[in-house]
Amino acid sequence: MMKTSRLLLVVAFILFAVSCKKDEAGMKTDTTATDSGLSADEVANLTVNSIAANSLGFAAIANDVTANAVSMNNISTDGGKTINAIDPNTLYQKCGSTVLDSTSNHGTISSVTFSSFYKYARTLNCTTGNIGTNVVNKITYTGTVNAPNLTSNDSGTSTVTITGLAATATQYTLSGTYTRKSIFTMKQNYQTYKAVGNITLTTNNVVFSKPGGLLVSGTASAVVSVVSSVGTFKYTGIFKFIGNNQATLTMNDKSVYKIDLVTGYFARVQ
């Protein structure tokens, strides 16, 4: 089940994703325009937004499905979701079943207005002995952001599988894909720039701590295509998760960024 308190904390950071430039003081930046009309840092910004929790990217989804897995391992009567729980007062999901869930959020922080809607379908797979092996999460989402320098309409899907539910497993692992389409208008230097960005993230064996559910390590590949008035352009990148809610992003032009996965702040380090 979606943790509302977690998501409310996430959207509290949305202002930073769309109204502030995400380069830290003293770090190198690249404002050289690419062939698509976007600067290298703007391409990185688009890529980072697809994964950062504050812009409801892949990190937010990964956090949620891991929290769900943690609750499944919580064999208690305090309201945690357990596998085939006996106590009727305990929330549980039966082996082989699919649970539907959804959540929506909207509001205004300063001059930034946002809204989002997520739909989840979670299928629990077990062994013949009713021991949970994995949960397959199929997710669809839509969202909008309106800020002084950016208007964006986003939509996409994600299919991720999380394993490590058995008591003998020492960690959770997550694998899957995440797609995001952003139709955006950017205002910079008294000019208006309109484009469509399509982003696909692919992950394999991203590791989370057990029982805490904190992201520890792993990688995700990113493919970004930008369609603008001057043509279609493709970029690639690799996210490497380094713990403590931090990651690095290496783009195909060899530029390297360090990212805070919670707030979405990034700085070019190479």
Tens digit of pLDDT for each residue in 86-97?
Answer: 555 666 788 888
Amino acid letter, 181: K
pTM check: above 0.95: no
> How would residue 177 be classed by pLDDT, with cut points 50, 70 and 90?
very high
What SS3 class is residue 211? Answer: coil
What SS3 class is residue 181? Answer: strand
Which helix (H) or strand (E) segment holds residue 7: the answer is helix 4-11
Dist CA 263 CA 17 (whole Å): 7
Dist CA 268 CA 253 (whole Å): 13
Determine what percent of the chain is predicted with pLDDT higher than 90. Answer: 24
Q: What is the mean pLDDT of residues 67-82?
A: 64
What are the structural domain ranges in the chain? 4-268
Q: HSE-up of 157 (CA within 13 Å, CB side)?
A: 3
258: exposed, middle or buried (Cβ count in 10 Å: 0-12, 13-18, 19+): middle
Dist CA 240 CA 237 (whole Å): 10
End-to-end, the C-alpha distance of the chain in Å comes to 40
pLDDT of 203:
93
Name residue, tokens 């919670």.
262
Dist CA 196 CA 214 (whole Å): 33
Sheet architecture: strand order including 266-268: 98-109, 112-126, 132-147, 150-163, 171-188, 191-209, 215-228, 231-243, 246-251, 256-260, 266-268
2 pLDDT higher than 70: no
51 pLDDT higher than 90: no
> How would residue 20 be classed by pLDDT, with cut points 50, 70 and 90?
very low
pLDDT of 128:
82
